[in-house]
Amino acid sequence: MNLLPVGNRLVVKQLKAPTQSPGGITLPNQAKTVSNRGEVLEIGSEVDPKKYNFVIGDEVVFADYAGVKIELAGINYILLEDEEILAKVVK
């Protein structure tokens, strides 16, 4: 990938929204939503590791309209500031 964040930003690859409900029902196009979850791919040099414990590969949750959405080589990325990330998914 040729996308390196500057400052306190992170590059997040947006995950695909589910196409089925938890019960196994296939969702129609009208019911599908844009995913607000993603995988951290790159971390800017000014992200404070003591305040935010992000590592590459973390799955994070962000607000619907957070960050700057870009498409590069057919893949959707979001440039997020560290404070725009709402939660880290712990598995």
- Burial class of residue 45 in the structure, from the number of CB atoms within 10 Å of its CB (0-12 exposed, 13-18 middle, 19+ buried): exposed
pLDDT score for 51: 87
59-62 and 85-89: which strand pairing?
A: antiparallel
Residues 59 and 16: their CA atoms lie apart, in Å, by 12
pTM: 0.81
Model confidence over 29-82: pLDDT tens digits? 655 566 788 999 999 999 988 888 899 999 999 998 899 999 888 888 999 999
> CATH 2.60.40.650: does it fit domain 9-89?
no
**Choice between 59 and 16, residue whose per-residue pLDDT is larger:** 59
